[in-house]
Amino acid sequence: MATLQLRDIQKSYGALSVIKGIDLEVADRELVVFVGPSGCGKSTLLRMIAGLEEISGGDLLIDGCRMNEIGPADRGLAMVFQSYALYPHMTVRQNMGFALKLARVPKAEREQKVAEAARILQLEPYLDRKPGQMSGGQRQRVAIGRAIVRNPKIFLFDEPLSNLDAALRGQMRIELARLHEELNATMVYVTHDQIEAMTMADKIVVLQAGRIEQVGTPLQLYHHPANLFVAGFIGSPRMNFIEGQVAGVDATGVAIDLPSGARVGVPVEPGRARVGGTATLGLRPETLRLDADGPLAGTVRLVERLGGLTLIHIDLDRDGPVIVQIEGSDGTLPHQAVRLAIDPTACHLFDEAGTALPHLTRHPLTH
């Protein structure tokens, strides 16, 4: 049982403010992922929760108790580092048992807990090896084992998979998800990889420049991004943006004129959109279709064929470059002239400030 609350958490180095007031609730047994570009403060925030960085302002509560001044050793948390940070002079067994040794847990109990963690992580054959004799994936598992053995209130992960190759990363992602289910533990996970965020998180926190941009389930962020930043950050390939002019506002939605003259009526609440103002239309690559009768015209610049998917990079005549994602293998060739069809209900619209205009109907999985 462990909950985590951040109340207006701030961090500054002298005059430089890097975390600018974060409010967040992490429920018991929740897996929360902090995601954001490099330098957004996600690792700093995690290290502040861990107690490795001092908190300049605000309150950090674990299970309702204020922890700001409590040292990392006494917060009851465990952390898995990006570099693994194993103790190179100790065997796997000693690495995993170190915390228990410091806590003066009797040897028999220590051995038993290490054996249990080794079983969960399939590390039994390697218990007497030193970290230097192990592969990256195995070291990562030892680092996780070291965290499990402590039976912490909350697990903290600082980009744990970013040093692994792509295949191993996919495998470890599944193992971590399984582990979360098996251990029933509260976890905070930092990553810059949105696939990790989307696949593992109960709740994603998108950070930028020391502030929270949006908090929500993966599908909420995907279907209902709060602003241009989140819309561009979540989803791969990135959402296409076309700037246009608001042409009409009524109960069925907002209509926007694109530079090419095409008009798109998007079923969103008008919010602050006014006729004549600028707005940005957001189009996910997977919602665009090639259609000879479509309203947008352009020329194919590049085609990426991934087998199961085809990514077509198109320069629209007046509306700028877009990417279209088509299922299966498509025969479109570069330099070919094409037309695109838009599904207005799948479009997103953002006002001048970059804030999303809320959809009139929410996606059924995002309530």
Binding site for other proteins (CB under 8 A): 50-52, 71-74, 77-79, 81, 83, 85-89, 98-99, 102-103, 146, 150
Q: Which is nearer to other proteins, 187 or 254 (CB)?
A: 187
Q: Which is nearer to other proteins, 90 or 341 (CB)?
A: 90
Q: Taking a C-beta distance cutoff of 8 angstroms, is the pair 292, 339 a contact? A: yes
Helix axes 136-149, 166-183, angle to 10 degrees: 20
Q: Which is nearer to other proteins, 151 or 217 (CB)?
A: 151
User: 80 — phi, psi (to 5°)?
Assistant: -110, 125
In the complex, the smallest distance separating the C-beta of residue 79 from other proteins, rounded to whole angstroms, is 5
In the complex, the smallest distance separating the C-beta of residue 68 from other proteins, rounded to whole angstroms, is 16
In the complex, the smallest distance separating the C-beta of residue 82 from other proteins, rounded to whole angstroms, is 8
In the complex, the smallest distance separating the C-beta of residue 13 from other proteins, rounded to whole angstroms, is 12
In the complex, the smallest distance separating the C-beta of residue 159 from other proteins, rounded to whole angstroms, is 12
Question: Distance (Å, rounded) from C-alpha 133 to C-alpha 140?
Answer: 13
Amino acid at 144: I
Q: Which is nearer to other proteins, 51 or 244 (CB)?
A: 51
In the complex, the smallest distance separating the C-beta of residue 50 from other proteins, rounded to whole angstroms, is 6
Question: Distance (Å, rounded) from C-alpha 59 to C-alpha 78?
Answer: 20
Q: Which is nearer to other proteins, 45 or 99 (CB)?
A: 99
Measure the N-to-C terminal CA separation of the chain; round to a whole number of Å.
Answer: 26
Q: Which is nearer to other proteins, 131 or 270 (CB)?
A: 131
Question: Distance (Å, rounded) from C-alpha 227 to C-alpha 214?
Answer: 8
Residue 237 preceded by cis peptide, ω within 30: yes
Question: Distance (Å, rounded) from C-alpha 335 to C-alpha 175?
Answer: 44
Question: Distance (Å, rounded) from C-alpha 284 to C-alpha 325?
Answer: 9
Q: Which is nearer to other proteins, 78 or 262 (CB)?
A: 78
In the complex, the smallest distance separating the C-beta of residue 87 from other proteins, rounded to whole angstroms, is 6
User: 248 — phi, psi (to 5°)?
Assistant: -165, 145
In the complex, the smallest distance separating the C-beta of residue 43 from other proteins, rounded to whole angstroms, is 12
Q: Which is nearer to other proteins, 179 or 234 (CB)?
A: 179
Question: Distance (Å, rounded) from C-alpha 279 to C-alpha 285?
Answer: 19
In the complex, the smallest distance separating the C-beta of residue 262 from other proteins, rounded to whole angstroms, is 53
Which contacts qualify for 224-227: CB closer than 8 Å, 24 or more apart? 224/356, 224/358, 224/359, 224/362, 224/363, 224/366, 225/282, 225/348, 225/356, 226/355, 226/356, 227/350, 227/354, 227/355, 227/356
In the complex, the smallest distance separating the C-beta of residue 98 from other proteins, rounded to whole angstroms, is 5
Question: Distance (Å, rounded) from C-alpha 264 to C-alpha 164?
Answer: 44
Q: Which is nearer to other proteins, 78 or 254 (CB)?
A: 78
Q: Taking a C-beta distance cutoff of 8 angstroms, is the pair 313, 302 a contact? A: yes
Q: Which is nearer to other proteins, 118 or 228 (CB)?
A: 118
Q: Taking a C-beta distance cutoff of 8 angstroms, is the pair 197, 33 a contact? A: yes
